[in-house]
Amino acid sequence: MNNQFSNRVLCSGIIVTDHVCAPVHHMPAAGELILTDTIDLTLGGCAANVSTALAKLGTQARLVGRIGDDIAGVVVRELLEKAGVDTSGLLRTEGIATSQTLIVNVQGQDRRFIHTYGGNSRFVAEDIPLDPVPEILYLGGYLLMQSCTPKELASVLKKARASGSKTILDVVTPGPADYLPWLEPVLPEVDYFLPNDHEGQLISGLAAPLDQARLFRKLGAKNVLITQGDKGTLWLGENIHLESTIFKVNFVDGSGSGDAFAAGLILGLLENKTPWETLTMASAVGASCVRALGTTQGIFTRAELDEFLGKNHLKISTTA
């Protein structure tokens, strides 16, 4: 593995064991049994997905998060280590199960999720180590971790930025709720905020992604990148307004594509790419994810990413 960037990236946040079925023809009715080709036990959760994607791209990241004292926690650690992720920051929490998600794929429909919080419910901002200070600090799954409170998180992010870290925040919104009080103290300490358009609407109450991005910028986020599925991505920052299409690939499963996008963004930032180049890289890694079942199985290697970018072009429009 290329460890050129080892210890430069800290991925923190939710870690999940995913149970993913290959697409079925329809949702079973009560009492009905239907067959699927495979049911895979895989890694899931923003922090685990991003760190695994980075490892596949040749960039080692340290992962910090909470697992339970159950067999699922053992499986998670083994899968992460096999993928080449630095698991020295995994925190085993006694008396609680590892977070798990059942992902049901139905042909022609969006995914369905059944989730249990598990160890993620015990994650707190103070779990994030700042010694050594990472070049990039990523936190994924905020708003799904009840113990990670805004005041404490804002303090940790502020310390990280003061020490030279770039901070990246991703969220998971488990249904309608009043999320703004959880974000208002935090966004001023965020360099890159990465909601998708559905999350952005739940948080802001605004339907248009551009309106969402303007609000999040007004609340303090330095850059806002809103992914919109097959509609592309919006990037709004200081003197930056980019809107992209997507790379066309064979779609199998959308699980983890947003996390793959985040991994590509991190790679671009590490390599000091321009915003245009970084958005292209992030979009390509995100596209690679959807080619296979599960959150990380389809992710490009670095050689595959470079080859793909050499053969494919992403349309990006610029608005002054």
Q: What is the DSSP string of 220-278?
A: T-SEEEEE-GGG-EEEEETTEEEEE-------S--TTHHHHHHHHHHHHHHTT--HHHH
- Categorize the per-residue pLDDT at 6 as very low, low, confident or very high, splitting at 50, 70 and 90: low
Q: How far from the centroid of its chain's Cα atoms is residue 44's Cα? A: 10
Q: Which residue has the tokens 């609000």?
A: 215
Q: What gap in Å lies between CA 170 and CA 141, rounded to an integer?
A: 6
- Give per-residue pLDDT as tens, 19-56: 889 889 999 999 999 999 999 888 999 999 999 999 99
Q: What gap in Å lies between CA 206 and CA 32, rounded to an integer?
A: 40
Residue 115 is classified by DSSP as E
End-to-end CA distance of the chain: 41
Weakest-pLDDT range from 6-10, 32-36, 62-66, 246-250 = 6-10
**How confident is the model over 48-70, as a mean pLDDT?**
95
Q: Are strands 100-104 and 112-116 parallel, antiparallel or unpaired?
A: antiparallel
- Give per-residue pLDDT as tens, 72-112: 999 999 999 999 999 999 999 999 999 999 989 898 888 88
- Give per-residue pLDDT as tens, 243-299: 999 999 998 888 889 999 999 999 999 999 999 999 999 999 999 999 998 889 899
Q: Is the pLDDT of residue 4 over 70?
A: no
Instruction: Give the 3-state secondary structure of residue 191.
Output: coil
Q: Is the pLDDT of residue 1 over 60?
A: no
Which pLDDT value is given to residue 2? 41
- Give per-residue pLDDT as tens, 166-186: 999 999 998 899 999 999 999
Which pLDDT value is given to residue 103? 87
Cis amide bond preceding 134, omega within 30: no
C-alpha to C-alpha distances, 319 to 235, 237, 238, 244, nearest whole angstrom: 10, 11, 12, 11
The pTM of the full predicted model, rounded to 2 decimals, is: 0.92
- Categorize the per-residue pLDDT at 5 as very low, low, confident or very high, splitting at 50, 70 and 90: very low
- Domains of the chain (ranges; CATH) run 9-28+36-318 (3.40.1190.20)
Which pLDDT value is given to residue 295? 86
Q: What gap in Å lies between CA 249 and CA 308, rounded to an integer?
A: 11
